[in-house]
Amino acid sequence: MKNLETIKGLKIDKLERMNSSINGNPRFRVYFSNGLVSQTMVDDMATYAIEHYTRKNRPAVDVEVGTHYGTVQINRITESTYLTL
């Protein structure tokens, strides 16, 4: 993955289900509050973390994104300790 960047204090606005991987694991296109649109990587644990954060009253998250074969993809996502107003 190239061009890694961490963005703090985002909220997940919308999840769009994509086709599952060949192993049956889910994939999502994720829309964030700052306008960023990203997708989860194939067979990645971040997919399950995203599902968890959307069920948890939409907390702010810190997300590390990068480009992989020309698409913006999520490398890591954690609950944010960054103060959002």
Return the pLDDT at 74. Answer: 93
Is the pLDDT at 85 greater than 70, yes or no? Answer: no
User: Given a cut of 60, is residue 84 above it in pLDDT?
Assistant: no
Cβ pair 50, 29 in contact under 8 A: no
Domain around 64: 2-79
Which residue type sits at 65? V
Residue 46, in any domain of the structure: yes
How many domains does one find in the chain?
Answer: 1
How high is the pLDDT of residue 46? Answer: 85
Please indicate, yes or no, if residue 69 is contained in any of the structural domains: yes
Residue 84 lies in a domain: no
**Which tokens is 39 given?**
């997708």
Q: With a cut of 80, say whether residue 65 has pLDDT above it.
A: yes
Find the CATH number of the domain harbouring 43. 2.40.50
Residue 53: count other Cβ atoms within 10 Å of its Cβ: 21
pLDDT in tens, 1-48: 889 999 999 988 999 999 999 999 999 999 999 999 999 999 988 888
In a domain, 40, yes or no: yes
